[in-house]
Structure 1
Amino acid sequence: MNPLDVLFEDENILVIDKPAGIVVNGVESYKGLTLQDMILEKINVFGALEDSEFKQRSGIVHRIDKETSGIVLVAKNESAFIHLKNQFLNRTIEKEYKAVVCGKVEFENIEINAPIGRNPDNFIKMAVVSGKRESLTLVRRDSEKVFGEYTYTGVTVYPKTGRTHQIRVHLTSIKHPVAGDKLYAGKSLYALSFEIFRRMMLHARKISFESPTSGELVSFESPLPKEFDLV
């Protein structure tokens, strides 16, 4: 079993730096190692109801996609889980992602306010769909690099809502899909970008929230993977 990369731990929470390629929560259809498998011995489910969300998810408060690396927040007991989940529901938790996207981003700052739902033409994918769930993402341009005749742009992303695949869908909707994103970039851009970066270039960089231990605002940051040095 792979060792956990723990950025912080106290009696109530774990802040984990997840590598790309690891699924967060286990499902019956997936037989590989998950983050949920790796944290079981650290979570106190004693006294929790069998069907409680805390026990079902082994304290994992939120998810990031399999091919996304970076911070995952875990509650070690049910009280901390409820405390953190309420912050997510109230949108008081601040998250920051780093991404490399395909193409030259022309604007320094972009606000993407577009509803997200299931793609009606492909149920595996999400999409911007009129009338579906409100979704807001802020994007800041940081850097760019030309490989051959094609430009890639480094961006910082601030998701203000937490929809499935939100960052990937919103960036695709402005014609700048995440580099190495097999699901959303399209075959040609995926092949071109994966040849350079060898992964999906999305990283959960930073999270800020009210600590269930101290009641104070705390922030944690994950080091950028080496692939991000390319842009």
Structure 2
Amino acid sequence: MESIQHTIQENDKGKRLDMVLSNLQEDWSRSQVQQWIKEGHVTVNGKSTKPNYKSAMADEIVITIPDPEPLDVVAEEMNLDVYYEDEDVLVVNKPKGMVVHPAPGHLTGTLVNGLMAHCKDLSGINGVLRPGIVHRIDKDTSGLLMVAKNDRAHEKLVQQLVDKSVTRKYKAIVHGLIPHEYGTIEAPIGRDQKDRQSMAVVNNGKHAVTHFRVLDRYKDFSLVECELETGRTHQIRVHMKYIGFPLVGDPKYGPRKTMDLNGQALHAEVLGFVHPRTEEYMEYSAPLPVYFEELITQLRNDR
């Protein structure tokens, strides 16, 4: 079992413990956190508590993540685009169209299947279907991901996500001409009450912050760089729709009349983090996919 520590700050004072902890990492659902608390895997100032415990300033929280069940996912040989690898961490450039981890009924062809064939050791903290997965990107989003090869590395990388110290910059093409050069979107994200398969900005959602800057403008579109401060499900897609500039090609959050790109024009271009063993800051950049570059050329020519 591995442990993650968190100290309650002013902005979480008075909030339910299960709500505070489910906001720490994008892959932790509130129901999962509640189960951990009930099973005694969470302590507050050294003592077990209940999910509805009201957090107090400077409370010391320790989350001891249970050991995973035995893994039953098939390893598949794939030509992975690996940018960096050592005994602790791996950085991979995921192609558009690939799912990150298996789910019930979809157990093959994912990045995890390829990772299991590529390397023998992956961390087990995130359970049987997500070995090594510290964070994720959507199926039709391309770009860089960091993968933990042991639980110690996983714990330290997750802590950096909790501390908001990981650099994650994306390129996106959106509908419309954004009138200003820079912006920050701070709006909570949760399940869409009208469509449970989608996310939306909702009052009781998880805290979410996206910073953006405009890189270029075309006839009816803008090229933007988005930097994540938090990492909620579909965050950039939901936030850009919320301010009126949905992503091009997005079948879920885009307008009905959008380009058919087999998914949104979104690429995780830059990833930076502190190495879990050497404590050296590492940053990687992946070039835009061919379709993305061709789209930019087309939009420039039409301008």
Q: TM (normalized to structure 1)?
A: 0.89
User: Which residue is 1:154 aligned to?
Assistant: 223
| Contact kept? 1:43, 1:77, Cα under 8 Å | no
Instruction: For residues 61-120 of structure 1, give each alpha carbon's deviation from its aligned partner in whole angstroms, at most 9, with x where no partner exists.
Output: 110000000001101111111111111112111110000001111110111111111000
**Is residue 115 from structure 1 mapped to residue 188 from structure 2 by the alignment?**
yes
Of 249, 261, 271, the residue aligned with 1:207 is: 271
Shift of 1:133: 1.2
Q: Which amino acid aligns with 2:287?
A: P
Shift of 1:226: 2.1
Alignment of 1:190-229 (within 5 A): 190=258, 193-194=259-260, 197=261, 199-229=263-293
CA distance in 2, matches of 1:95, 1:54: 24
SS at match of 1:169: helix
Of 1, 8, 11, the residue aligned with 2:87 is: 11
Q: Which amino acid aligns with 1:207?
A: L
User: Which residue is 1:68 aligned to?
Assistant: 141
Of 126, 135, 139, the residue aligned with 2:212 is: 139
Shift of 1:53: 2.1
| Contact kept? 1:54, 1:81, Cα under 8 Å | no
Identity of aligned residues (%): 36
Of 235, 240, 251, the residue aligned with 1:182 is: 251
CA distance in 1, matches of 2:255, 2:199: 14
Aligned length in residues:
218
User: Which residue is 1:28 aligned to?
Assistant: 104
CA distance in 2, matches of 1:125, 1:55: 25
Moved over 6 A (4+): none
CA distance in 2, matches of 1:4, 1:17: 8
The unaligned stretches of length 5 or more in structure 2 are 1-76, 297-303
SS at match of 1:187: coil
User: Which residue is 1:172 aligned to?
Assistant: 241
| Contact kept? 2:251, 2:263, Cα under 8 Å | no
| Contact kept? 1:36, 1:57, Cα under 8 Å | yes
CA distance in 2, matches of 1:135, 1:171: 12
Shift of 1:157: 0.2
Of 77, 90, 102, the residue aligned with 2:150 is: 77
Q: CA RMSD in A?
A: 1.7
| Contact kept? 1:54, 1:78, Cα under 8 Å | no
SS at match of 2:250: coil
| Contact kept? 2:93, 2:142, Cα under 8 Å | yes
CA distance in 2, matches of 1:43, 1:178: 37
SS at match of 1:53: coil
Q: Which amino acid aligns with 2:230?
A: T
Pick closer, same or farther for the CA change 1:89–1:56 going to 2, 3 Å.
Answer: farther
Q: Which amino acid aligns with 1:200?
A: Q
